[in-house]
Structure 1
């Protein structure tokens, strides 16, 4: 019996020590990182230091978007002494200009380890909170350094710059397009804490510095942009433009955009406020879900960059494409002659020259100089619809430009050769001369 008991005890000891050794092997060799992370989580408080977002500059060095230091006030109610719950709620609600009842309710949740009081306060408010906590020995009120996005030029280049959310992530415009480039790498402060989650009395911390985002320099020239915005704004007022006006200045040698605007524009510091007073009043007159939907639609329309997101009929600007195609194919020369009698009849539709002009006999070069409609209808007829359409693609008018802004429409609407109508036999020109009739090409890129 004794022998069996000894053997049983030895076996149990071997099993117990075997399990213990195996567990130690797992903890130290197979999976040490997981348990080390658990220990660190129990022993350290990890506080994030937000990285400053990179600046956006114009080509001449004007700061268009920057990051400004601010502070976020948070609290750990369970660290706050019971007798300070009500005084702290009263004092901090006054300093931070927040609701007292809501603040008291947050502080009264004695098991809570974290609650937000207010984001993005200035230095004066943060210092006032720090002073009150110091004078009253209040524990658990956290004053965390943060950053916020600011646009020093105010109501300037809103349709291009876009804006960010409360976490400094890009939501629109260049801020969205280059969000990854502009976003920095957050830093951290690791502070020792006790078993209750409070900071240890002894000072112990490890600082990992934040890395700011990269700087973005645009091709936009701030001086040219100011001139353009001023001119377009004046035109909007003079002509009572209802659906916003667009202006673009481009370097013809490189294609670089030197200025671009849509007016009226919004202030990227306050992008959600509707600029158009009439639209704002209409939205405010609504309520509930109807108001929310109307507000969202109005904001989307306000933020929309019409310069790249809307389709336009080019009008007489397209005469340059027609002229280039005609010269390139050789169907016309600068000295080729045409007749303008003020209007021209094409397939039953009469097209007039602008402002009632009658240019008479004119050369190709003269017709281009005065933007003569009858002249260019005749040039298009000489070119032929097949060749004309081929030049749409040659000038890259069938695709988007690839500009580095979000929201560019990726297609063009244009006539193809088979959509330009039947070729007629003859058409009497105003001069009385019979010529071969062909429906004039048109394009809407």
Structure 2
């Protein structure tokens, strides 16, 4: 029998070839998509499954006073993260329920079991269990030691324990508004903590280790470790002893006057260094919310009125007008003035604070008596353009540049919009608005031979190495220093301000032998959102420096809405007197021997 030849039809061969070709093409496309188009994504995803990456938090730098006393420090604590997917796999592998896991964790940390249990099912927006959920932060070492024992015994490798830090303020409400606070992430929220956040924060480190299928570290693999760089320390110009005096005096003033608030600033007038800054009422930095739920009330409590708020300064502003008038030679020491209790400007009667008037006066008299008509005359002689020039040169109408967050610029009437009536009222301290720090900086300019210096709190930023050694990485640099008035004019005004305290409206601030130069102020509170002023609401203030011919300290005092008497010479001057006496006693300085 002859073998039959099997005939393969060409159509079948072609069909088979086409099918295999299509399959090969599809496989090639999938391989290309997986290896090329999605290679990086899938590689990273796979890497995440067998790598444990832990962030190493740096230690936030400290904030210290000028003598190295700690005002804000960081304590070492811990935080716990959970890989919930790995926890789910663990429960399946070891036949354990999440309720049992929750009891173990809550028992070690002293947390509420229901709270822990409610967090073990958390998912992302795609419904996937979270791989790095933060369970708790700011945990003390003794609790972490218990948790580490549980992790070791139970093989809870889905728990990730990381270093964390907490911010501590050893003196509670000390320098509260200036220091500011940090949030849970250790980032500054306001104040110096916010302003110097970059220097204080440091740079986070990282630790990467390979894991096996049970999420345990492989002992034979190298661990990638980048050490955290701790933050730098910020050394302030603030003197803890002077700050304590200022706070004590402010507390007493708040109680005695039954006022809404008290603000005190103490500086070195020669270089703008802030030695103390107080706002009362204040708050405990270790419990900054103080149980307050209302956010608006909280923001008001945290508001640093020394730099964030502005008000019409009243007669303390007259130091600017008289300095400008002397510098421009539109007046002189033996100049004559007459006050009849008011001045009529373009048909509007503008009163002096003394209804019957002061009568005949010399230049020193209008300053000592704080005579409004006398200063309106100086303003008229200067004119809008020249007066505004000096107002801006003295630092009003723009942020002073102090190293604190939220500084107010103030409100200055533009020259081209200033009427004759505006000129009159601005000359004696109404219409324009300024912050306390701007007013004190203007006085400092006069007390520093006519040279403006920026008020500031940072003295230097210091780096600290592993061995505790320090090195200055950034000293304070003055950027806005300028000659505003001549030395002769400045010294003349300084002597006049000394006579204003020893003989005039500021005499309740007078202390024998200290040579205090100063000016009082009584400002009506403007009607916010409306016109005019609020009936019966005043801010009483005093600015001064001592000794007038070689100043060591300058002070600003304001009493917001005191009950009863409201004149600055009666309310604020005695507070300044007490400040000067205690500060000079603390400094051990006898001005007469300097």
Is TM > 0.5 for Structure 1 vs Structure 2? yes
Structure 1 distance, partners of 2:76, 2:147, is: 17
Task: Choose which of 56, 64, 76 in structure 1 pairs with 2:63.
Answer: 56
Cα shift at 1:201: 4.9
**Aligned 8 A contact 1:85 1:108 in 2:** no
Q: 1:107/1:296 Cα in 2 relative to 1: closer, same or farther (>3 Å)?
A: closer
2:425 pairs with 1:408? no
Matched ranges for 1:102-251 at <5 A: 102-107=115-120, 113-135=131-153, 138-195=156-213, 198-202=215-219, 204=221, 205-242=223-260, 244-251=261-268
Structure 2 distance, partners of 1:389, 1:113, is: 62
Task: Choose which of 86, 105, 112 in structure 2 pairs with 1:92.
Answer: 105
Structure 2 distance, partners of 1:112, 1:25, is: 31
**Aligned 8 A contact 1:352 1:374 in 2:** no
Q: Deviations over 1:14-72 (max 9, x none)?
A: xx999999999999999997777556434321111111112222222122222211011
**Structure 1: gaps spanning 5 or more residues:** 2-12, 275-279, 281-291, 424-437
Q: 1:200/1:329 Cα in 2 relative to 1: closer, same or farther (>3 Å)?
A: closer
**Aligned 8 A contact 1:245 1:264 in 2:** yes
SS at match of 2:254: helix
SS at match of 2:420: coil
More off after superposition, 25-34 vs 119-128 = 25-34
More off after superposition, 133-142 vs 178-187 = 133-142
Paired position in structure 1 for 2:432: 444
Task: Choose which of 342, 345, 353 in structure 2 pairs with 1:344.
Answer: 342
Cα shift at 1:390: 3.2
How many residue pairs get matched? 408
Task: Choose which of 272, 276, 279 in structure 2 pairs with 1:255.
Answer: 272
Q: Deviations over 1:392-427 (max 9, x none)?
A: 23323222212221111234233747534369xxxx
More off after superposition, 21-30 vs 382-391 = 21-30
**Structure 2: gaps spanning 5 or more residues:** 1-7, 9-19, 124-128, 434-594
SS at match of 1:348: strand
**Aligned 8 A contact 1:247 1:260 in 2:** yes
Q: 1:105/1:390 Cα in 2 relative to 1: closer, same or farther (>3 Å)?
A: closer
Cα shift at 1:327: 0.8
Query: Which TM-score applies when normalising by structure 1?
Result: 0.77
Cα shift at 1:200: 3.4
Q: Deviations over 1:170-194 (max 9, x none)?
A: 1111222222222211111111112
Structure 2 distance, partners of 1:396, 1:38, is: 57
More off after superposition, 183-192 vs 383-392 = 383-392
2:395 pairs with 1:396? yes
Structure 2 distance, partners of 1:72, 1:336, is: 72
Query: Which TM-score applies when normalising by structure 2?
Result: 0.59
Cα shift at 1:297: 0.7
Paired position in structure 2 for 1:300: 299
Q: Deviations over 1:355-407 (max 9, x none)?
A: x895x544323443443444434433444444333322332322221222111
Matched ranges for 1:279-294 at <5 A: none
**Aligned 8 A contact 2:99 2:117 in 1:** yes
Cα shift at 1:91: 3.9
Q: 1:351/1:227 Cα in 2 relative to 1: closer, same or farther (>3 Å)?
A: same
Structure 1 distance, partners of 2:74, 2:168, is: 6
Q: Deviations over 1:254-278 (max 9, x none)?
A: 122222221111222222225xxxx
More off after superposition, 119-128 vs 77-86 = 77-86
More off after superposition, 411-420 vs 317-326 = 411-420
**Aligned 8 A contact 1:415 1:443 in 2:** no
Paired position in structure 2 for 1:265: 282
